[in-house]
Chain A
Amino acid sequence: MNFLKWSFFVGVFSFKGLLASPPDVEVLETSHRINGSLMDETMGVKKAEVLDLLWGLYRNDKLISHGIMVNAKGYLLSKASSSMGARYAKSFSGKYLPIRIRKRDEKTDLALWQITGSSELWPFAKWQNDLNKTKIGNWGVSGNNDLSGLTFGVISAKSRSIGREGGVMGVILEESNSSTRGVEVLEVLPHAAGDRGGLRVMDRILRVDGRTVRTTEQINEIVKKKDPGDLLILSIQRRKKETLLRITLGHREVAFDMFNRNLLMSGPVSKRKDNFPMILQHDLPLFKEMMGGGIFDLQGYCVGINIARIDRVTSYALPASVVLPVLNQWIQELP
């Protein structure tokens, strides 16, 4: 039995511990675990009430985010940066309807979608607006991936604001400007944003988003105003030829800490996971495609919108007190 040593301590057991155990060892049935099938039944009629509010948002027949019905006229709230390009929404009851985007807010990363081609009136969310009532240790309930059941967990840490991190290319540029034009790329970190976008060592960056650059500082000024997931258009010179590259910016920790095992062990996380005015932290095991849906208390009141999957123990939700001012403004502006 060997432990892998990490910068943060935790060993990994690579084999499936439970399968390897002899059959006579007592193991708690999967159905009885915190996210086992029997847990859904504890919610009684609230189970269907909660699931009736949740929708999956689809792009090219692929689930890209969850959404929550916030108005009887078919308005769905979701996470903006995850739901971009969605064409259809699918309900718990199996309805599959076209949607279009109506509003988007940069600050909260929320987007408002509307179901088109149906005049049906829909059940919509009721809110728990008082952040003080959502304490650490409170149960939180969301839908599962395909909205066939519920996911359980608890509010797990202090509510707080999350500062802005900014996007990175994951490259090292020359320090001082040489006399020739542009800025030379000295190093490209493997698998980081620059590498994925096709940037190579010795390339000279001439323009960023159409602006001519002569120093590393000028490039940094432009990049740091953008977020992970944002697009950067570079004009580069490679062997006397000029080319355009499109680079989707990444996270600092992903680019510069390739051996961050906490991230490796966590699976895909949300692209935008920083710069939120206030968040609720919880331990519900949600995929990044389940952001945009609601997290509910045991009475079925929505306490927040799941806004970012951080790692395998952490998800953030925007509390209702942050969501509602944005939402109410939007509802007023729309017919």
Chain B
Amino acid sequence: MKVSAEEVKHIAQLSRLTVPETEMQIFTEQFNQILSYADIMQKVDTTGIEPTPYVLPITNAFREDIAKPGVSHEAALSNAPAVENDGFKVPRVLE
């Protein structure tokens, strides 16, 4: 499987990352190098094998509906680069 520069651009956009035009080629090459590993896996014959999203045979791992205190307001915000009105301050977000 190979991706085009156009697809890399699209993925960058979905991730809200700016990739300079000049670096597009190198990213595309790197993407494709990584994807070539997946190609090895794609060649394995998996006919009749169930998909395995979960490796452990565990189901129904629940907890009861009990609320407990989390972290303090101050601790929660202590690693925020910027704080505004008790919130995590983020730059203007336009969709």
A and B interact: no
